[in-house]
């Protein structure tokens, strides 16, 4: 499916630009007008890592007028095997700053805008609104869902890519013309089911293979040429050296872009939605986790516990475990709620699924509440194991 150009052409190309982009200009489908569109385009790359490295370098070389980079991480030696926009001298340096320096060396005619911060619920809309197109180079499910949701809510197209070991995927998600990421993956995989690249590894050159596909799709969208991967998923197997395309249809029941969408704003907590927890939380729950059945047993025998619900007030109104006191996770992490917690009773934390309570548990243990525990599976486990009559949400 061909689509109209995403941006209007710039007024003109300079003599230097004509020299630099001459190999583009002589391609009939691109030509002077197409290059002017690239010059006038504003593209944001989320992440300056494995996928962001080749994407940023080729977007810059292609003459995209303004490139935004958002990344709060620093360059590590283990990055250099695949994140080719960085070098040995950049180790310890901000990835966004390092990438910007490389871009200026590749093409000084490109304007670079640096967002040296973590992308989150509070800033994603403001940052995305400044750009015509988003290139998603993230490596975790929480950020992928947030990128998708923000793009759909703002009406922005984005080019997505994913890599693992020898396998890569790429697609274009634009709810106005086709499916969104949630149409393909309505729910994130259970925690631990899909290892990260840090856990399972990735062939360095695979980043270039998928990153270059992303840039190819970005150029097609910006210039209005060819058939972008809207409604199609490109799957690449580097070991077999095979490409295949899978048709992805718009889900009429998608909670975000479907006919009767129920998700009309960004989620409060994407980490919770994806079941991701920090290293501190993973360490805190060791030998400090009980089941819903154990909690019920403690309540039945009258054990002196202080049960804390760390969800938000709106969730507490929907369903709650009997006897729980509402103290949102944010108040615990900030330290504001510590004075409300008894020192002479065992504290038991719970949330919806066990993710937020694990994070809160880590904060309590750091504050000296050594015997605090949390409920594995939270409210959902309580409903499943103890009281199925309660509403799951």
Residues taking part in catalysis: 197, 351
Under 8 Å CB-to-CB from 55, ≥6 apart: which residues? Answer: 45, 135, 137, 161, 211, 212, 214, 215, 218
Q: What is the spatial distance between Cα 322 and Cα 311, in angstroms, rounded to a whole number?
A: 14
Q: What is the spatial distance between Cα 349 and Cα 355, in angstroms, rounded to a whole number?
A: 11
Sheet holding 42-46, edge to edge: 111-115, 66-70, 42-46, 133-136, 158-164, 167-173, 232-237, 242-247
Q: What stretch of H or E contains 244?
A: strand 242-247
Displacement of CA 59 from its chain's centroid (Å): 21
CB atoms < 10 A from the CB of 80, how many? 15
Q: What is the spatial distance between Cα 58 and Cα 330, in angstroms, rounded to a whole number?
A: 41
CB atoms < 10 A from the CB of 34, how many? 24
Q: What is the spatial distance between Cα 389 and Cα 386, in angstroms, rounded to a whole number?
A: 9
Contact (Cβ atoms closer than 8 angstroms) between residue 200 and residue 165: yes
Q: Tokens 């095979």 correspond to what residue? A: 242
Numbers of helices and strands, H then E, in the chain: 17, 13
């Amino acid at each position: 499916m061909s689509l109209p150009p995403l941006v209007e052409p710039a007024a003109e190309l300079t003599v230097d630009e004509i020299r630099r982009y001459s190999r583009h200009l002589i391609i009939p489908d691109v030509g002077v007008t197409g290059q002017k569109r690239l010059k006038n385009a504003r593209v944001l790359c989320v992440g300056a890592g494995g996928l962001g490295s080749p994407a940023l370098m080729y977007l810059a070389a292609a003459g995209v007028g303004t490139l935004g980079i958002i990344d709060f991480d620093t360059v590590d030696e283990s990055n250099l095997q695949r994140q080719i926009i960085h070098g040995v001298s950049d180790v310890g340096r901000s990835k966004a700053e390092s990438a910007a320096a490389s871009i200026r060396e590749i093409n000084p005619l490109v304007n670079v805008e640096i967002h040296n911060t973590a992308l989150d619920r509070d800033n994603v809309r403001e940052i995305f609104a400044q750009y015509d197109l988003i290139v998603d180079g993230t490596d975790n499910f929480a950020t992928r869902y947030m990128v998708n949701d923000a793009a759909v809510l703002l009406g922005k197209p984005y080019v997505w890519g994913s890599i693992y070991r020898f396998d890569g995927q790429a697609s274009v998600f634009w709810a106005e013309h086709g499916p969104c990421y949630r149409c393909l993956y309505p729910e994130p995989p259970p925690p631990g089911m899909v290892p990260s690249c840090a856990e399972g590894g990735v062939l360095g050159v695979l980043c270039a293979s998928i990153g270059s596909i992303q840039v190819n799709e970005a150029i097609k969208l910006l210039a209005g040429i060819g058939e972008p991967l809207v409604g199609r998923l490109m799957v690449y197997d580097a070991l077999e050296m095979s490409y295949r395309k899978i048709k992805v249809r718009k889900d009429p029941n998608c909670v975000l872009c479907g006919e009767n969408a129920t998700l009309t704003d960004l989620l409060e907590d994407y980490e919770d939605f994806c079941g991701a927890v920090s290293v501190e939380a993973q360490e805190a729950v060791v030998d400090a986790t009980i089941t819903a059945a154990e909690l019920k047993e403690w309540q039945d025998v009258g054990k002196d516990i202080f049960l804390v619900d760390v969800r938000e007030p709106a969730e507490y109104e929907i369903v709650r475990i009997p006897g729980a006191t509402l103290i949102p996770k944010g108040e615990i992490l900030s330290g504001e709620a510590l004075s409300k917690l008894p020192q002479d009773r065992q504290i038991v934390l719970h949330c919806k699924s066990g993710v937020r309570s694990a994070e809160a548990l880590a904060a309590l243990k750091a504050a000296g509440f050594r015997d605090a525990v949390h409920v594995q599976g939270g409210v959902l486990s309580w409903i499943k194991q103890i009281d199925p009559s309660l509403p799951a949400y």
